[in-house]
Amino acid sequence: MKLKGLNTFNKLAVSEKITSILKTIPTSPGVYQYFDETGEIIYVGKAKNLKRRVSSYFNKEQSGKTRLLVSKIADIRFTVVGSEAEAFLLENNFIKQYKPRYNIMLKDDKTYPWICIKNERFPRIFLTRKKVNDGSQYYGPYPSVMTARTLLDILKQVYPLRTCKHLLNRPCLEYHIGNCKAPCANLISEEDYNSMISNTKEVIKGNISGVLKDLKTQMMDHASRLEFEQAQMIKRKYDLLENYHARSIVSSNTLHDMEVFSFDDADNSFYVNYMRIIQGAIIQSFSIEMKRRLEETPEELLSLAIIELRQRFESSVKEIIVPLKLDMELENVKFTIPKKGEKFEILELSTRNAKQYRLETEKLRSLVDPERHSKRILAELQKDLHLQEPPSVIECFDNSNFQGDYAVAGMVQFVNGKPNKAGYRHFNIKTVEGPDDYASMREVVRRRYSRLVEEGKELPNLIITDGGKGQMEVVRQVIEDELHLEIPIAGLAKNDSHRTNELLFGFPPKVVQIKPNSEVFRLLANIQEEVHRFAISFHRKKFQKGFVHSELNDIKGIGKTTAEKLLLELKSVKNIKETDLQRLSEIIGPAKADIVYKHFH
């Protein structure tokens, strides 16, 4: 297979490109693919931790063929899965499909084991590597024979089903040693036998909590009788079964040939993941990014992607799995929107890969061209707020106080979407008594921008308050009514979990609809968290300093110990000023109380 569009990053040197890609790879389990300069897959591998495994090829000295392989890698793609076992199976699917030049281990046509429940009277259950289309039911495939055999052994202990190929007319040895109920001799009814089959299917599907509980009981029973060898044998089966997922969503015997299309929508970009399932196995996973030119809906963009990718991969599959209803028809093709079951699980896996591709693409852009990346985000914010120019300089304010005391405010400045620490400012609230956030905001905004005007310095393109409509109105009164400036004003509100919830803009303020997973929303949330952190850190320093040094320390005859005792009891100098002489005497004694009282009165 050759990958079209491989030259997306040709402007980068290969080493720089690979370095950038390595920074975007997730730590999830999955399968990675290496491409050469022609766009051909040259190696497929699996990993429990994609980032650690792929990075190991490049951050340590390699030798022989591995060094040669690394020298030919021009691009890296990966598919995220749910577990290491799924990665193992998907790797096998990809190797068989594309036969990469440097893959050796799985290039043979080795197939993985399945558990078969035979389509016959008194069905047998057995392990097989071949699936026959005779109505039998197959479960798997299993990553290893050991895992499958362990499950079969457990099933054999719990549900003694027949194993012989032919029904005899008399009980065999398996019956006499307790491994079979002898349906051949009519020692169990067909109804009871089929009931055991039904229970067996449930266990294979993953409903194994009861089996695990029984195994644990057996293990503890053997251990209590000091039969440690038997206990260890059962523990080994317990551990293997506990780590096993009875049904892989990477391959399934019940899923026929189909395609899956999912998406992740992020404002101007629309990311689509395409998966192709042939004979129940994923043999292809591919993601693309589409750019909005107008106001296309997700349905329109997904429909365009389906046409493009089916043509690109010359697909003739007759069923397409999608997450929403589309206004399109294809000849002899059925569209399915699953709500549960295996098809729903495979759609969820595809959606995860679309989201991961978006994160990878966005992070890669920010690494390759951070300035262009930031400008694009600010242009989107400009569009959302209908601003005359991109908000290249944003200033955001937040207040902090402790019951009205030690009141401070913080302002952070973001330039081109990045924190400009040199532009950060702290404010001690000077004119406000008590906890009045509106008055505090009015003071600091007036001080900030009256000074910028007096000094002839550049004004920001956007002012943001960490608060709602009330804070916005206070800022507007200062900016427009007092200083007669024209600076756009927005507000950021938080939800009950104290997380950025919505953006307010305009007068009267209205909620601006921004998707929570968009880069614009993440920028705003980052600004809000940063101003909150900055204001709180300054408040804490001042609060702590207030306990060490305050106006009390300047009173002749009052030492540090006495001052700390008063602050610890009354919390603030303001409260000390308002406390009567009798109460002060109870805390520090009449002599020192008289000194403090006379100082403030």
pLDDT for 17-32, tens place per residue? 888 889 889 999 999 9
Peptide bond into 509 cis (omega under 30): no
Contact of 382 with 389, CB cutoff 8 Å: yes
pLDDT for 243 equals: 57
pLDDT for 250 equals: 53
State the average pLDDT over residues 113-137: 88
Distance CA 356, CA 77 (A): 11
Contact of 570 with 430, CB cutoff 8 Å: no
What are the pLDDT digits (tens) for 45-99?
888 899 998 998 887 777 666 788 888 999 999 999 887 667 777 877 787 788 8
pLDDT for 370 equals: 73
Kindly tell me if the per-residue pLDDT of 599 is higher than 50: yes
State the average pLDDT over residues 533-555: 66
pLDDT for 214 equals: 74
Kindly tell me if the per-residue pLDDT of 105 is higher than 60: no
Kindly tell me if the per-residue pLDDT of 347 is higher than 90: yes
State the average pLDDT over residues 160-179: 80
pLDDT for 5 equals: 39
Confidence of residue 427 (pLDDT cuts 50, 70, 90): confident
The domain segmentation of the chain, as residue ranges, is 6-98, 114-206, 260-366, 380-545, 549-600
State the average pLDDT over residues 347-354: 91
Q: Residues 511-548, buried b or exposed e (16+ Cβ, 10 A)?
A: ebebeeebbbbebbbbbbbbbbebbeebbeebbeebee
pLDDT for 322 equals: 95
pLDDT for 246 equals: 36
Angle between helix axes 341-368 and 370-385 (nearest 10 degrees) is 110
**Three-class SS of 570-587:** HCCHHHHHHCCHHHHHHH
pLDDT for 60 equals: 73
State the average pLDDT over residues 150-157: 79
Contact of 158 with 197, CB cutoff 8 Å: no
Cα 406–chain centre separation: 39
Kindly tell me if the per-residue pLDDT of 180 is higher than 80: yes
Kindly tell me if the per-residue pLDDT of 336 is higher than 90: yes
What are the pLDDT digits (tens) for 265-283?
887 788 999 988 876 767 6
Contact of 524 with 503, CB cutoff 8 Å: yes
Range name among 55-64, 178-187, 287-296, 382-391 with the lowest pLDDT average: 287-296
Contact of 399 with 441, CB cutoff 8 Å: yes
Q: Residues 442-480, buried b or exposed e (16+ Cβ, 10 A)?
A: bbbbbbbbeebeeeeeebbbbbbbbbeeebbbbbbebbe
pLDDT for 6 equals: 40
Which has more pLDDT, 279 or 336? 336
Q: Is it true that domain 6-98 has CATH number 3.40.1440.10?
A: yes
Tokens of 472: 């916005």
State the average pLDDT over residues 220-228: 88
Contact of 141 with 251, CB cutoff 8 Å: yes
pLDDT for 59 equals: 79
Q: Under CATH, which architecture does the 380-545 domain have? A: 2-Layer Sandwich (3.30)
Kindly tell me if the per-residue pLDDT of 262 is higher than 90: yes
Helix (H, G, I), strand (E, B) or coil at 378: helix
According to DSSP, residue 40 is labeled B
Q: Which of 61-65, 183-187, 361-365 has the highest mean pLDDT?
A: 183-187
Q: Under CATH, which architecture does the 549-600 domain have? A: Orthogonal Bundle (1.10)
Distance CA 162, CA 145 (A): 21
Give the β-pairing of 319-321 and 258-266.
Answer: parallel
Instruction: Calculate the average pLDDT of the chain.
Output: 80
State the average pLDDT over residues 198-216: 73
The residues, ordered by sequence, that sit 6+ positions from 240 with a Cβ below 8 Å of its Cβ are: 146, 147, 150
Query: Residue 414: beta bridge partners?
Result: 394, 419
pLDDT for 254 equals: 65
Confidence of residue 7 (pLDDT cuts 50, 70, 90): very low
Confidence of residue 337 (pLDDT cuts 50, 70, 90): very high
